[in-house]
Structure 1
Amino acid sequence: MTTATLQTSALRTGESARTLLVAAFLGLGLVFVAGFAPAAVLHNAAHDFRHAQNFPCH
């Protein structure tokens, strides 16, 4: 392997680690927010989203 190949490989590894960290942070944030939100708030948000997508729910 050449020096350029090694540097590119190291860069991809760093980007992968950062991507994984950001995805984990966002996922945990979503679970945390949904876990502590009152049920009525979650229901209303889902209901409004269904109407915004023109999906019948009644």
Structure 2
Amino acid sequence: MAHTEATHLPVTASRVSRLPQSLMAMMLGLFIVGFVGFSHIDVVHNAAHDVRHSNAFPCH
């Protein structure tokens, strides 16, 4: 039987660095939904619409 030993690496992400990452992810999501999803620019809206359909995501 072989003896194996697990190595534990220190976690470098702290709560301070997770907060800005979470906020940026939420802002990006709101931008995508708010600008692209409800855009009155036909090219932008139709591109988002086609992507939703190609991913089998119901949009209407």
TM range (shorter): 0.3 to 0.5
By percentage of residues, which structure has more helix?
Answer: 1
Q: TM-score, normalised by structure 2?
A: 0.46
Q: TM-score, normalised by structure 1?
A: 0.47
